[in-house]
Amino acid sequence: MRARSLRVLGCVAAISLATAACGGVGDDTAGGDGSEVSFGGETTGGDGKAGGSDNEINVTGSMTTLGFSVEDEIAKARVAEVKQAYPDLDLKVTSGAFDEQQFLSAVAAGKPPSAVYLPRSELGTYAAKGALLPLDDCIEAQGIDMSLYRESAVSQVTYDGQIYGIPEFNSVRLVLANSNALQDAGLSPDDIDVSDWDGVMAASKQLYQTGGSGIQRIGFDPKIPEFFPLWVAAAGGELVSEDGQTAYLDSPEAVEALTYTVSLVDANGGWSDFKTFRDTWDFFGDNNQFVADQLGAFPMEDWYLDVLADVSPNAPVTAMPFKDREGNLLTYATGQAWSVPKGSNNPTAACAFAATMTSTDAWMAAAEASKADRKKSGGAYLGTWTANKEADERIFAEVYEPSGIESLDQAVKVLQSLQDSAIVDPPSPAAAEVKKAWEDAVLRALQGDQSPEEALQQAQKEATEAIADAQ
């Protein structure tokens, strides 16, 4: 019996070893050294115009990208601009979203992509880790005028005084309300003025409905945890300092914002029932929460207007700007950027590629292509929102035309009004950990596990430790 037991135990040990062990071995031979990198400008070939430079830059050889897909007309048109500008460049776009594991493993193995397309909110972390090259020389070589880019976007790609990315798309948040629900409740859009927190609470209670199986309509969804930074900014605070080095997660403004937004959720049935009901929405379908009358109002990303335009263009939606408690316009912006990883095989091409992809001419071509595509498919074109101010101005002056659908056209006007009132997540060396700290805190408060003060105090401790560890 003992021998059998030992044999079985031995087999179990082997199986467990095989399955419990995780991870692989890397090395620290990440190739490339930022100090030796050249972004071109000294040789000939290529027209270099797309990037705005008068220099003639030799953009040849091959380059690869990571995190970007050439699937829609906006991507296809801009890639076509690159190919037209640099016909001798052998460009390979590896389709797929940005994958942190794939990226860091490639950098560690010394075989990173030539250029990487990543969320601006995460850029500071990679810059702090030394995985990205500063692009100041690239900007100079390509003659990129950074003043054309939105300040909030540029601040997000600037770490420790150096620019590590060229901003690309820009997505902002606005408030979308259910016009029919407002009318039924005897309310007007003015009653959902988010600068008046008491007013929003009162309106939410009027809009909230329950029935036999539980909640039938949420009055006002504050969209926390994901939009918590917006509510903190509305209260006059910030979660992280501008340089990303100091967390203020337990500031009085953050506590006030969390207390208020949790009370909004509690007034709409409490977190468990609230989320259970929200999970039943046909969010991307033609019976979405506006059509099905399941929501009064919520703050939402601008891309959702395109979803509505596709699946239910006549949904009863009224768009309103988000505001701080003083009544000033306020929004929360996110987006992507093009960066050049440490060890890039062709930084000159990567830089030229980033400059061209984000240039005004490329965005104009993309907007025209997108408009034509929407027209072909019968959908409304609601504009193309970029971090390039000049491009946006020209797109809305020369390409965009009102769709004739009042609710969507009005929403576009709201979006235009919000573009220069954005807050962003600052470039932090521990962006993911800080975000996780405040997200978990919001969830603990929503679940009633901790008071908002206790939850944010714990988050502050976790975030402070994470930032210290990352430095």
Partner 1 sequence: MRPETRAAYGFLSPWVIGFLGLTLGPVIATFVMSFSDYDVLSSTQWVGAENYRDALDDPHAHAALKNTFFYTALYVPLSIGIALGLALLLQSAGRLKGVFRTVIYLPVVTPPVATGVLFLQLLNGQTGLINNVLGTFALPTPNWTTDPMWIKPGIVIMSLWSVGSVTLILFAALAEVPAHLREAALVDGAGAWRRFYHITLPMISPAIFFSVVVNTIASLQLFSEVYTMYFGATTTPPPEEALFYVVYLFEQAFRDFEMGYAAALSWLLFLIIMAITAVQLVVSRRLVHYRSD
Q: Which residues bind partner 1 (CB under 8 A)?
A: 1, 5, 8-9, 12-26, 28, 30, 100-101, 104-105, 107-108, 129-131, 213-215, 225-226, 271-273, 275-277, 279-280, 432-433, 436, 439-440, 442-443, 447, 449
Give whichever of 274 and 353 is closer to partner 1, judged by the CB atom: 274
Cβ 221 to partner 1 shortest distance, Å: 12
Give whichever of 82 and 107 is closer to partner 1, judged by the CB atom: 107
Under a CB-based contact definition with an 8 Å cutoff, are residues 115 and 65 in contact? yes
Look up residue 70 and give its two tokens. Answer: 């050439």
Cβ 369 to partner 1 shortest distance, Å: 28
Cβ 420 to partner 1 shortest distance, Å: 26
Give whichever of 28 and 326 is closer to partner 1, judged by the CB atom: 28
Cβ 226 to partner 1 shortest distance, Å: 5
Give whichever of 20 and 397 is closer to partner 1, judged by the CB atom: 20
Under a CB-based contact definition with an 8 Å cutoff, are residues 391 and 364 in contact? yes
Cβ 439 to partner 1 shortest distance, Å: 4
Cβ 212 to partner 1 shortest distance, Å: 10
User: C-alpha distances in angstroms, 237 versus 260, 262, 263, 297, 375?
Assistant: 14, 17, 19, 24, 43
Structure letter (DSSP) for residue 132: B
Look up residue 221 and give its two tokens. Answer: 């969804």
Give whichever of 28 and 198 is closer to partner 1, judged by the CB atom: 28
Decide: residue 107, CB within 10 A, 0-12 exposed, 13-18 middle, 19+ buried.
Answer: buried
Cβ 9 to partner 1 shortest distance, Å: 6
Structure letter (DSSP) for residue 430: T
Angle at 210 between CA 278 and CA 314, to 5 degrees: 60
The phi and psi torsions of 409 (rounded to 5 degrees) equal -65, -35
Look up residue 57 and give its two tokens. Answer: 């830059």
**Angle between helices 406-418 and 303-311 in degrees, nearest 10:** 170
432 SS3 class: helix
Cβ 363 to partner 1 shortest distance, Å: 28
Give whichever of 71 and 279 is closer to partner 1, judged by the CB atom: 279
CA within 13 Å, CB half, 181: 30
Torsion sign over Cα 83, 89, 95, 97 = negative
Measure CA 28 to chain center: 30
Give whichever of 34 and 236 is closer to partner 1, judged by the CB atom: 34
User: Checking DSSP bridges between strand 295-301 and strand 214-220, what pairing results, if any?
Assistant: parallel
- Helix ranges, 86-193 (H): 100-108, 120-129, 136-142, 151-156, 179-184
Give whichever of 9 and 398 is closer to partner 1, judged by the CB atom: 9
Give whichever of 324 and 433 is closer to partner 1, judged by the CB atom: 433
Which amino acid does the sequence have at 361?
Answer: D
Cβ 214 to partner 1 shortest distance, Å: 5
Cβ 209 to partner 1 shortest distance, Å: 14
Look up residue 381 and give its two tokens. Answer: 């074109």
Angle at 53 between CA 51 and CA 59, to 5 degrees: 65
Give whichever of 18 and 397 is closer to partner 1, judged by the CB atom: 18
3-state SS, one letter per residue, for 33-61: CHHHCCCCCCCCCCCCCCCCCCCCCCCCE
Smallest CA-to-CA distance from 31 within 346, 412, 464 is with 346
